[in-house]
């Protein structure tokens, strides 16, 4: 019994155990349902298959989850405006390119413009959270509502279509490249973020501020500025995700771009084993979390659940995971375990 316990403990202490377990479970279910799940074929010169599809579709979510991870780590909250900001940035991109046969302005300028809008949204959120001390989710609620409204104004409440074929490259395939472009974009975002966190001290700063902002101030960190920066970064992530999304459909529908993604992003962070109340985080955990969510979505689609019904199941998963993270439940669990093993946990004298 003891040996079994220690084995269990060793396994559960592997980093990223929880996210990997979740992903594994989802994949198993899929494999049973669809034996051809892992098959990858080449059609029309590009890779094709369930797995590719999941990775492709999860790209946007991965990017959002990266931003959300940093926001949650630094400010113990979530940015719920990411979906609306995505829609707004997508709308700005499409509207600035126009619906004609040729772009109204160079593609790159339009992309930069969209990212700039993302930065501005991040500045608004970050300012409210760090300098005005508004609770993160309340602060981001403003753009959560207004974002889509502004997007509708930008598009004149129409669904706009972009004609030049190149526009679809970002959301589909580059010519002669068999792997979907969003995968590259997501990889680039993850790698750049990872490098920045590794090669500068920002990663440590964000965790320190999230864990103990008072102590962080006394060792010379500018807590407010660090929180502010994570929101701006999250805004940029939302913009990039929005660009991918509009490119996928070659159009902008401000009502539907990035709909419900805020929940998915929060869920990805939570499944990634990250606490939503700030502190230590694992970027890779969130990435795996995002893929898990997309796999779950794809699975549910395969089970003929309609897109509108999906939130029901996801909400249940969120609540279960968050409830398991809750200090009250953890205490129950600890009590239960200490009753079993009778070993008193070592407490520390203040």
Partner 1 sequence: MVLRRVLFRRGDNMAAGNEILTMRRITKNFLGVRALNNVDFTLRANEIHALMGENGAGKSTLIKVLTGAEEFESGEIRIAGINQPVINHSPQEAQINGISTVYQEVNLCPNLSVAENFFIGRELKKFGVIDWKTMNKKAKKAFDDLSINIDVTLTLDNYSVAIQQMVAIARAVDISSKVLILDEPTSSLDDSEVEKLFSLMRKLRDRGIGIIFVTHFLEQVYAVCDRITVLRNGELVGEYAVENLPRLQLVARMMGKEFDDLAAVKRERSEGAVSDPVTVIEAKGLGCTGKIKSFDLSISKGDVIGLSGLLGSGRSELARAMYGADKADSGELEMNSKKLNIRSPLDAMQAGMAFLPENRKEEGIIADLSVRENIILALQAQRGIFRLISKKDQEEFTDKYIDILKIKTSDRETPVKNLSGGNQQKVILARWLLTNPDFLILDEPTRGIDVGTKTEIQRLVVSLAEQGKAVMFISSEIEEMLRTCSRMVVMRDCSKVGELSGDEITQDNIMKAIAGGGSV
Partner 2 sequence: MSDAKLSLSKTEGSNVFGRIKDKLFGYNFLLFVTIGLFIIMYIAGLIVYKDKNFGNTQVFLNLIISNAGLIITSVGMTMVLIIGGIDISVGSVIAVTCMMLAAMMEKGHIGAIPAIIIVLLFGILFGALQGWLIAYLKIQPFIVTLAGMFFARGLTAVISLEMITITNKTFLDIAKHKIYLPFGGSLNRRGVMVYPYVYPTVVLALVVLIASFIMLKYTKFGRKIYAVGGSEQSALLMGLNVKRTKFIVYIINGFLATLGGIAFCLNTTGAFVELGKGFEMDAIASTVIGGTPLTGGVGNVFGTFFGVLIKAVIETFVSFQGNLSSWWSKIIIAILLGFFIVLQSLIAMKKEKKR
Q: Provide the binding-site residues for partner 2, judged by CB under 8 A.
A: 77-78, 80, 128, 132-135, 137-139, 141-146, 148-150, 152-153, 156-157, 260, 262-263, 266, 276-277, 306, 308-316, 318-319, 322-323, 326-329
Which of 80, 136, 68 minimizes the C-alpha distance to 286? Answer: 68
Choice from 176, 214, 304, 339 touching partner 1 (CB under 8 A): 214
What residue 143 binds from partner 1, partner 2, none (CB within 5 to 8 A, per partner kind)? partner 2
Smallest CA-to-CA distance from 83 within 153, 141, 24 is with: 141
Which of these, 234, 157, 177, 143, lies nearest to 52 by C-alpha position? Answer: 177
Beta bridge partners of residue 42, listed in sequence order: 47
As to burial, measured by CB atoms within 10 angstroms (0-12 exposed, 13-18 middle, 19+ buried), residue 273 is: buried
Could you tell me if residue 260 is left (phi over 0), alpha (psi between -120 and 50 degrees) or otherwise beta? left
201 binds, among partner 1, partner 2, none (CB under 5 to 8 A by kind): partner 1
Q: Is 221 in the site for partner 1 (CB under 8 A)?
A: yes
Among partner 2, partner 1, none, residue 221 binds (CB under 5-8 Å by kind): partner 1
Burial (CB < 10 A; 0-12, 13-18, 19+), residue 48, is middle
Q: Is 280 in the site for partner 1 (CB under 8 A)?
A: yes
Choice between 343 and 349, CB closer to partner 1: 349
The answer to whether 99 contacts partner 1 (rule: CB under 8 A) is no
Applying CB under 8 A, among 9, 176, 199, 339 the residue interacting with partner 1 is 199
350, interface contact from partner 1, partner 2, none, CB < 5-8 Å by kind? partner 1
Candidates 21-29, 181-189, 194-202, 261-269 — which segment interacts with partner 1 by CB under 8 A?
A: 194-202
Closest approach of partner 1 to the CB of residue 205, in Å: 7
| Phi, psi (rounded to 5 degrees) for 14 | -60, 135
Q: Determine the 3-state secondary structure of 337 from DSSP.
A: helix
């Amino acid at each position: 019994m003891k040996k079994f316990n220690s084995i269990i403990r060793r396994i559960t202490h592997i980093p990223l155990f929880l996210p990997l377990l979740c992903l594994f479970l989802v994949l198993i279910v899929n494999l049973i349902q669809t034996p051809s799940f892992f098959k990858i074929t080449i059609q029309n010169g590009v890779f094709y298959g369930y797995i590719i599809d999941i990775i492709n579709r999860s790209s946007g979510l991965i990017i959002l989850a990266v931003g959300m991870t940093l926001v949650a780590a630094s400010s113990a909250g979530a940015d719920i405006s990411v979906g609306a900001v995505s829609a707004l940035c997508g709308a700005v991109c499409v509207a600035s390119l126009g619906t004609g046969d040729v772009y109204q302005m160079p593609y790159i300028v339009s992309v930069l413009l969209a990212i700039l809008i993302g930065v501005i949204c991040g500045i608004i959120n970050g300012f409210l959270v760090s300098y005005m001390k508004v609770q993160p989710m309340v602060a981001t609620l403003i753009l959560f509502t207004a974002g889509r409204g502004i997007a509708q104004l930008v598009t004149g409440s129409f669904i706009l279509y972009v004609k030049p074929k190149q526009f679809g490259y970002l959301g589909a395939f580059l010519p002669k490249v068999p792997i979907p472009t969003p995968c590259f974009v997501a990889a680039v975002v993850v790698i750049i973020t990872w490098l920045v966190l590794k090669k500068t001290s920002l990663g440590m700063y964000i965790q320190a501020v999230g864990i103990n902002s008072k102590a962080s101030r006394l060792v010379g960190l500018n807590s407010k500025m660090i929180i502010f920066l994570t929101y701006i970064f999250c805004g940029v992530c939302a913009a990039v995700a929005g660009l991918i999304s509009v490119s996928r459909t070659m159009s902008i529908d401000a009502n539907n771009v990035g709909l419900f993604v805020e929940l998915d992003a929060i869920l990805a962070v939570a499944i990634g084993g990250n606490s939503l109340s700030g502190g230590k985080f694992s970027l890779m955990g969130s990435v795996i979390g995002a893929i898990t969510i997309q796999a779950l979505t794809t699975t549910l689609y395969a089970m003929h659940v309609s897109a509108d019904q999906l939130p029901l199941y996801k909400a249940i998963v969120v609540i279960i995971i968050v409830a398991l993270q809750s200090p009250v439940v953890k205490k129950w669990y600890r009590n239960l375990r200490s009753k079993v093993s009778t070993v008193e946990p070592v407490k520390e004298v203040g």
